[in-house]
Chain A
Amino acid sequence: MKHGIEMFALGINQRMINVGLGEMSVTRDTTVVLSCIGLGSCIAVCVYDPFTKSGGLAHMLLPLGRKDNDISSPSVKYIDTGVPLFINQVIKQSSGRENLIVKVIGGATMLQVPGGGLLDIGQRNIQEIKAALAKEKIPILGWDVGGTAGRSVHFFLDTGRIMIKALNGPLTEM
């Protein structure tokens, strides 16, 4: 079974934007469906303002940036530095911080290698996204994280609906 947008009957004017590793997309275009196909230990943060029908999706890779990161080209690769950057971008398109609906998906533990360094990246990402959003004083209203399976995420900007599919799991709406 495919996990791309072919799972859904897109409207005539709807189009998918695939948000890649360490990237974000913020828009007021209600024809857009923001997607992450094959999300493993990474975190997808979906933020929606139902009043302006604007929102965004950030595909975050790791919990903490290194202190010597190049801050002249900030990105959402790291959760600690990426969340403020992303939320500020969304707020510019929205009716206000208080109206934002935030949902978080991902953080799977895919690779359980004894002695391997990747054991807890998914869990560390989950902990850090909670902390980063708490720091922004934005509650998390939807939550589908952890486990051992990857997920695909499709975020419909016209309604704020989020559809999630794991490889062998059912298609669920968040």
Chain B
Amino acid sequence: MTTGNNSEKITLANWANLARVGSTTAVSGLSQMVNHDFKITALNIEEVSLRNATNLIGKSDDKVIGVYLVFSGNTSGHILLAFKPETAYDLVDMAMGIPSGTTNNMGEMERSVLGEMGNIVGTFFLNGVADCVGLRLMPSPPAVVEDMAGALIDSVLAEAFDQNESLFVIKLLFCCTGHEIEGRFLVLPSFLVRNENK
């Protein structure tokens, strides 16, 4: 199996390495922003179909807070950073240097902080990948959404599945030592598709 657009062919194994580099860079960016050490707890590339994609960020009716970006340049795709609300509130507290438990809802300030967090994590990821393979990748401004996991992922997948019946998702779980922090970071690159003409 290979991945790629018309001009570039990247094997899935190579892409796994790129995802690791990008994810390490992204988590490093998050650590710098909130001044706490984050580490990767799981990183994998999964092929998902429409049927099994809906639970990528939690049960459909779970409330989540997501930060969404699209990227463009030499290739395009989607990035989604998703948290349980309590986790997002903790991250806001950490980023703002205020006591844990202070934030308990999403106002304009909190949205701005999370948007910036998504921006940094997404940009660091893209830079990590771009530096390795010489691609030019640019993220959009972030959109912060608070809604049901099903509604959020449904909207992201609508565009991603326009071109494919299944797609590859880079799924990263990370945590922060000493804090009950767990986040999901999904990258859906449009060029990472099954190539039947291997």
Contacts and interface: CB of A to CB of B under 8 A. Distances in A.
Our verdict on whether A and B bind, yes or no, reads yes
Interface of A: 2-4, 18, 20-23, 36-42, 61-62, 66, 77, 108, 110-118, 121-122, 149-152, 167
B198 interface: no
Given A113-B70, A114-B141, A167-B148, A2 B61 contact: yes
Contacts of A61: 50, 154, 157-158, 161
B116 interface: no
Identify whether the interface residues of B are mostly helix, strand, loop, or mixed.
mixed
A54 B116 CA distance: 49
Interface in B123-164: 140-143, 145-159, 161-163
A38 B148 contact: yes
A161 B83 CA distance: 34
Residue among A22, A36, A114 with most chain B CB within 10 A? A22
B51 A20 contact: yes
B155 A77 contact: no
B157 A150 contact: no
A13 B148 CA distance: 28
B140 A108 contact: no
A122 B17 CA distance: 36
A117 B159 contact: yes
A153 to B, nearest CB: 11
B87 interface: no
B147 A150 contact: yes
A19 to B, nearest CB: 11
Contact of A38 (B60, B68, B142): B60
Given A4-B61, A118-B155, A113 B140 contact: yes
Residue among B50, B149, B155 with most chain A CB within 10 A? B155
B140 A115 contact: yes
Given A4-B61, A112-B143, A40 B53 contact: no
A111 B145 contact: yes
Interface of B: 50-51, 53-54, 60-61, 63, 68-70, 140-143, 145-159, 161-163
B154 A150 contact: yes
Contacts of A40: 147, 150-155, 158
20 contacts: A20-B50, A20-B51, A21-B161, A36-B150, A37-B60, A38-B153, A40-B147, A40-B153, A40-B155, A42-B158, A61-B50, A111-B155, A112-B143, A113-B69, A114-B140, A115-B140, A117-B70, A118-B158, A150-B148, A152-B148
A22 B151 CA distance: 14
Residue among A36, A37, A39 with most chain B CB within 10 A? A37
A31 B190 CA distance: 41
A38 B158 CA distance: 13
Contact of A21 (B51, B63, B69): B51
Contacts of B159: 117-118, 121
Residue among B60, B68, B140, B158 with most chain A CB within 10 A? B158
B50 A21 contact: yes
Contacts of B141: 113-115
Contacts of A108: 151, 155
A167 B50 contact: no
A126 B140 CA distance: 25
Given A3-B148, A111-B68, A149-B147, 15 more contacts: A3-B60, A20-B50, A37-B60, A41-B154, A42-B155, A42-B158, A61-B154, A108-B151, A113-B142, A114-B140, A118-B156, A150-B150, A150-B152, A152-B148, A167-B151
